[in-house]
Chain A
Amino acid sequence: MRAWIKGARAGAAVAAGALVLAACGSGTGSGGGGTGGGNTSAFNAPGGYGKLPTQSGTPKKGGIVTIAESPGAGPNYIFPITPAANESVYTIDQFQYYMWRPLWWAPQGATPTINFPQSIASAPAFSNNNKTITIHMKSGWKWSDGAPVTSKDVAFDLWLTKAAVKISPANDGNYTPGLYPDFITSIQTPNSTTVVLKVNKTYNQNFMFYNQLGQIVPLPAQAWSKTSASGATIPFANLANAEKIYKFLNAQSGKLATYATNPLWQVVDGPFKLKTFDPSTDANTLVANPAYGGPVKPKIAGIDNVAFTSTSAEFNQLLSGNLDVGFVDFSNLPQVNTLKAKGYNVWGYPDFGFSYIGYNFKDPTGDFNNIISQLYIRQALAHLQDEPAVIQSKGVFDGAAGAAYGPVPAVPKSPFAPANALTNPYPFSISAASNLLTSHGWKVVPGGTTTCQKPGTASNECGAGIPKGTALTWNLIYGNSPAVIGAQDEIWASNAKKVGITINLSSKTFNYIISNLSDVSNPSNDKIWAMQDFGGFTNSLYPTTNELFNTKGSFNFGGFSNPQIDKAIQNSISSLDNTAVQKEIGLVTAQQPGLFQPNADLVFAFKNTLSGPPASFADASQYQFSPEYWYFKK
């Protein structure tokens, strides 16, 4: 879950969003096509902001790249089986992945797809109705202690994950009961580069690969398969031993002050090794791993991840030129020219996720539950959103956002995007919204209060449970930070008033909304909100909305229920149809269970002295940095 749009898995850490956690497991990107494509135009397309750095200059060996950490969101867990409480992009993507690489690396630059040249394994082979999965690992990858990365290391990760969730489901933030790793019934390693998994039933191949297996991160069994610091390694392929090993490693990971000195964490297969870690601020430094077996070895000497307590402090450091890479908050976009003058490239692009206003289908206040259950009402509300204006407005995104009409945004383009994700099915039109209401028995009073004049269930009547005289008046509680949430909601409410819909806005903190309004297990507040807007979600590469819009979804806090969508979601998970998720997303986009909003950019400033393949910089938009591709220019 995104703290708003770009807080990404920081929010997931709060709410343990499986949707996001799956995205976490499937990894985020690195330089596209191994060293990254040189074509920057794809990233400077609509939805992008500024210009992506181009590759130039002669590489200089060495140098430390200083990168700003997100304020208050530094990494706080080093062991790659990350508990829900520690789950965030800042812990996993921007810390652990420097040291331990997932089996499959994604995305490619800003595109949410697997980057095979950068991955440790090739695409898995499915057989036996997708119940048998064969994984072939590449040779050449090795641990920093010299041992090769083998199929046993994959099995080690699987066993430890099984042990972790057996001890407590909260031990793995990605865990959904019944799915990974529960569905794995057999783990075999016929040779050092092959892993054969058997699962309990047929799952959709894409779901399995892009959503579930992407969580696998090979772990160094030869160094970590033990129960004490001084003890010898023990067999891990049974749950009893795996639990003991997990408990030991988990305990070690709880000692933040020892991260840099504990020999365990020095055995890595990623491009960098931890050098220092400040447990009070989570600031850390990493040095290049000379034994890194990936396609491109680091040219820089290391990374300095600098902690900040506020976005303004971070921005001031950018202005003073003390950072090589830092994010640019929306409120600072008007100062981009100053940054450029200080020697920075400024570029932004949306991550693969979506923002939306959630509707409460359980709120009977003013018959809202019955009103919002009508598809034509949701369509009318969608017509009232002026996405192009919101994106271009200096008061909202100032151009730093991409269009999004459903849970799969138009930007960045996913291979799983259906047609209506790319072309707005409900473009901004006050008259279209007005016509929808009028043709269903409402007396539209522009600027006033529209009321139901024809109660009933016929096609030209208001709909079931909507009495005559019912007014279109509801509340919308939105997150008070960042300001763009309220800004775009105000614009939407203003447009709604033009057809006599009154949306009463009030703001709350992100944590208040998540804790009080978005908790499916706590329905006591179901009657105090009609609509809410805390931000949005970051998608898995395989963007099923199982947790969100499935009737029993763990994040379906508005109680949306549509048998057609339930069926489509089921197909996305367990059918053999490889286009199932496109169909599901197409249906969700058409049904509008919430108001889908523009997909905001993650905007970064990169110092001009730093260069590398453009795609390696584009990764940042997906919360991933790939400094092994970067170099300082001579």
Chain B
Amino acid sequence: MTVSIGEIYEEVQPSDVAPEGGQIHGPRAGWKLALSSFVENRLAVAGAGIVVFFILFSFVGPLIYHTNQNSTNPINAFLPPSGAHLLGTDSNGFDELGRMMKGGQAALEIGFFASLIATVIGTLVGAVAGLLGGVVDAFLMRIVDVMLSIPLLFVILIVGDRYNGATVFSLSIIIGIFSWLVSARLVRGEVLSLRVRDFVFASRTMGASRRHLIYKHLIPNALGVVIVNITFQVADTINLLAILGFLGYGLNYPQVSWGDMLSNALNYLSDGYWWVVYPVGVCLVLVVMAFNFIGDALRDTVDVRLRRR
């Protein structure tokens, strides 16, 4: 077949021809780059999907799958999975699937709330320490050092033992109050780098107050690090909650978390009641893993050196 030069010209459009010096795009927004980078990470997308699923499972699920989670039914204890109870019943005769939804609510609520508290405290402390430097920085960082040297679990167990009646609110506060240390260090490091940048210097020159610098320049620019840390913090908190529950210091009846459920279920691990052990264990693993995937991806995303352009 012969092709005329004119036909070739018609098929090759100018836009398809790379310029001699390479193709030049218009500048893309940072968030688009970040989103693009995040979406390209399959594990991150899977993680996000899992988190969304469990949020829906825990908070919307009970609206669709109605179970009695208030009154025990001892005669119905450990019923195997059936049409009436899709994942069987637990030792109190509660529907296990409904219980997992209720436990998921607590895990996610405490995970997010404690992380929020930890992040707020950590960010503020880190920003102040990084910006002011000197004695203030040294003092705040020594506090962080001292608190980091105390095992978090140990502190929470003592506090939990002293004050009876663990609730979603109280556990969130306790975990949050003792979990801000890593955030503080990360933000301080970021602020130490940011405070000598030109835009901060310019703002200072124009008479910006320290408060203004912190809220308008330093924290917003350190936000990437903070957001990444939140995801890991949520995963860590859910893990910690599970450990507390497993040790018997979790939520008190009638509240329940996945850790409490696992702790109770492990008594029956070898008794054939698989439905009270494995499903809730899988939930726990999936959610923690999902938050870690998201955190990893976000870290890659906000770090421009790791981001593809």
Set of chain A residues within 8 Å of B41, measured between Cβ atoms? none
Contact B268 A506 (CB under 8 A): no
Contact B271 A497 (CB under 8 A): no
Set of chain B residues within 8 Å of A332, measured between Cβ atoms? 270-271
Contact B273 A491 (CB under 8 A): no
A412 vs B131: C-alpha distance when bound (angstroms): 75
Q: With both chains docked as a complex, state the minimum distance between the C-beta of B190 and any C-beta of chain A, in angstroms.
A: 41
Interface: A419 (CB within 8 A): no
Contact A393 B93 (CB under 8 A): yes
Given contacts A475-B164, A491-B92, contact A386 B264 (CB under 8 A): no
A390's nearest neighbour on chain B, judged by CB, is B74
Contact A490 B253 (CB under 8 A): yes
A506 vs B74: C-alpha distance when bound (angstroms): 20
Interface of B (DSSP majority class): loop
Interface: A334 (CB within 8 A): yes
Q: Which of A390, A475, A491 has the most CB of B within 10 A?
A: A491
Total residues of chain A contacting the partner, CB 8 A: 34
Set of chain B residues within 8 Å of A334, measured between Cβ atoms? 268, 271-273
A211 vs B32: C-alpha distance when bound (angstroms): 84
Interface: B22 (CB within 8 A): no
Contact B164 A477 (CB under 8 A): yes
B90's nearest neighbour on chain A, judged by CB, is A395
B163's nearest neighbour on chain A, judged by CB, is A506
A481's nearest neighbour on chain B, judged by CB, is B248
Set of chain B residues within 8 Å of A389, measured between Cβ atoms? 74-75
Question: 9 closest A-B pairs (Cβ-Cβ)?
Answer: A395-B91, A395-B77, A393-B74, A334-B271, A494-B72, A506-B164, A331-B267, A389-B74, A394-B77
Contact A497 B71 (CB under 8 A): yes
Interface: B30 (CB within 8 A): no
A323 vs B271: C-alpha distance when bound (angstroms): 20
- Interface flags, B254-269, vs A, CB<8A=1, else 0: 1000000000100110
Interface: B133 (CB within 8 A): no
Q: With both chains docked as a complex, state the minimum distance between the C-beta of A326 and any C-beta of chain B, in angstroms.
A: 16
Set of chain B residues within 8 Å of A331, measured between Cβ atoms? 267-268, 271
B residues 265-303 with Cβ under 8 Å of A? 267-268, 270-273
B residues 55-96 with Cβ under 8 Å of A? 70-72, 74-75, 77-78, 90-93
A163 vs B115: C-alpha distance when bound (angstroms): 65
Set of chain A residues within 8 Å of B49, measured between Cβ atoms? none
- Interface flags, B233-252, vs A, CB<8A=1, else 0: 00000000000000010001
Contact B273 A504 (CB under 8 A): no
A512 vs B75: C-alpha distance when bound (angstroms): 32
Interface: A261 (CB within 8 A): no
Contact A497 B74 (CB under 8 A): no
Contact A394 B164 (CB under 8 A): no
B164's nearest neighbour on chain A, judged by CB, is A506
Interface: B220 (CB within 8 A): no
Contact A497 B91 (CB under 8 A): no
Q: With both chains docked as a complex, state the minimum distance between the C-beta of B146 and any C-beta of chain A, in angstroms.
A: 28
Contact B253 A493 (CB under 8 A): yes
Given contacts A480-B248, A490-B253, contact A506 B75 (CB under 8 A): no
Q: With both chains docked as a complex, state the minimum distance between the C-beta of A70 and any C-beta of chain B, in angstroms.
A: 18
Contact A392 B75 (CB under 8 A): yes
A and B contact pairs by CB, cutoff 8 A, 24 listed: A331-B271, A334-B268, A335-B271, A335-B272, A390-B74, A393-B91, A394-B91, A395-B77, A395-B91, A396-B74, A447-B70, A477-B164, A480-B248, A487-B92, A490-B253, A491-B72, A491-B92, A493-B253, A494-B92, A498-B71, A505-B252, A507-B248, A507-B252, A508-B161
Interface: A483 (CB within 8 A): yes
Q: Which A residues form the contact surface with B (CB < 8 A)?
A: 331-335, 386, 389-390, 392-396, 447, 475, 477, 480, 483, 486-487, 490-491, 493-495, 497-498, 504-508, 512, 528
Set of chain A residues within 8 Å of B254, measured between Cβ atoms? 490, 493-494, 497
Set of chain B residues within 8 Å of A447, measured between Cβ atoms? 70
A329's nearest neighbour on chain B, judged by CB, is B267
Set of chain B residues within 8 Å of A333, measured between Cβ atoms? 271
Contact A395 B252 (CB under 8 A): no
Contact A395 B71 (CB under 8 A): no
Contact A483 B75 (CB under 8 A): no
Contact B253 A393 (CB under 8 A): no
Set of chain B residues within 8 Å of A386, measured between Cβ atoms? 74
Q: With both chains docked as a complex, state the minimum distance between the C-beta of B33 and any C-beta of chain A, in angstroms.
A: 50
Q: Which of A393, A395, A498, A508 has the most CB of B within 10 A?
A: A395
Q: With both chains docked as a complex, state the minimum distance between the C-beta of B167 and any C-beta of chain A, in angstroms.
A: 10
A504 vs B163: C-alpha distance when bound (angstroms): 13
Q: Which of B75, B164, B253 has the most CB of A within 10 A?
A: B253
Set of chain A residues within 8 Å of B268, measured between Cβ atoms? 331, 334
Q: Which of B72, B91, B268 has the most CB of A within 10 A?
A: B72
A312's nearest neighbour on chain B, judged by CB, is B270
Given contacts A483-B264, A491-B92, contact A506 B166 (CB under 8 A): yes
Given contacts A331-B271, A475-B164, contact A504 B75 (CB under 8 A): no
Q: With both chains docked as a complex, state the minimum distance between the C-beta of B259 and any C-beta of chain A, in angstroms.
A: 14
10 more contacts with CB within 8 A, not counting A333-B271, A335-B271, are A334-B268, A334-B272, A335-B272, A393-B91, A447-B70, A480-B248, A487-B92, A491-B92, A498-B71, A512-B161
A528 vs B72: C-alpha distance when bound (angstroms): 27
A340 vs B164: C-alpha distance when bound (angstroms): 43
Contact B74 A483 (CB under 8 A): no
Q: With both chains docked as a complex, state the minimum distance between the C-beta of A26 and any C-beta of chain B, in angstroms.
A: 35
Set of chain A residues within 8 Å of B253, measured between Cβ atoms? 486, 490, 493, 505
Contact A475 B165 (CB under 8 A): yes
A390 vs B91: C-alpha distance when bound (angstroms): 11
Q: With both chains docked as a complex, state the minimum distance between the C-beta of B141 and any C-beta of chain A, in angstroms.
A: 37
A331's nearest neighbour on chain B, judged by CB, is B267
B residues 90-111 with Cβ under 8 Å of A? 90-93
A487 vs B71: C-alpha distance when bound (angstroms): 13
Which of B75, B91, B271 sits near A487, CB closer than 8 Å?
B91
Contact A494 B165 (CB under 8 A): no
Contact A395 B93 (CB under 8 A): yes
Set of chain A residues within 8 Å of B264, measured between Cβ atoms? 483
A342 vs B171: C-alpha distance when bound (angstroms): 46
Set of chain B residues within 8 Å of A507, measured between Cβ atoms? 248, 252
Set of chain A residues within 8 Å of B74, measured between Cβ atoms? 386, 389-390, 392-393, 395-396, 491
Q: With both chains docked as a complex, state the minimum distance between the C-beta of A103 and any C-beta of chain B, in angstroms.
A: 42
Set of chain A residues within 8 Å of B70, measured between Cβ atoms? 447, 494, 497
A498 vs B73: C-alpha distance when bound (angstroms): 13
Q: With both chains docked as a complex, state the minimum distance between the C-beta of A262 and any C-beta of chain B, in angstroms.
A: 42
A494 vs B91: C-alpha distance when bound (angstroms): 14
Set of chain B residues within 8 Å of A393, measured between Cβ atoms? 74-75, 77, 91, 93
A528's nearest neighbour on chain B, judged by CB, is B164
- Interface flags, B4-20, vs A, CB<8A=1, else 0: 00000000000000000
Set of chain B residues within 8 Å of A335, measured between Cβ atoms? 270-272
Set of chain A residues within 8 Å of B92, measured between Cβ atoms? 395, 487, 490-491, 494
Set of chain B residues within 8 Å of A495, measured between Cβ atoms? 71-72
Set of chain A residues within 8 Å of B267, measured between Cβ atoms? 331, 483
A490 vs B70: C-alpha distance when bound (angstroms): 11
Set of chain A residues within 8 Å of B273, measured between Cβ atoms? 334
A85 vs B77: C-alpha distance when bound (angstroms): 40
Set of chain B residues within 8 Å of A504, measured between Cβ atoms? 164-165, 252
Contact B72 A490 (CB under 8 A): yes
Contact A506 B252 (CB under 8 A): yes
Q: With both chains docked as a complex, state the minimum distance between the C-beta of B269 and any C-beta of chain A, in angstroms.
A: 9
A299 vs B127: C-alpha distance when bound (angstroms): 81
Q: With both chains docked as a complex, state the minimum distance between the C-beta of B254 and any C-beta of chain A, in angstroms.
A: 7
Set of chain B residues within 8 Å of A392, measured between Cβ atoms? 74-75
Q: Which of A331, A447, A493 has the most CB of B within 10 A?
A: A331
Q: Which of A394, A490, A497, A507 has the most CB of B within 10 A?
A: A394
A394 vs B271: C-alpha distance when bound (angstroms): 11
A477 vs B248: C-alpha distance when bound (angstroms): 13
A497 vs B161: C-alpha distance when bound (angstroms): 25
Set of chain A residues within 8 Å of B71, measured between Cβ atoms? 494-495, 497-498
Contact A506 B90 (CB under 8 A): no
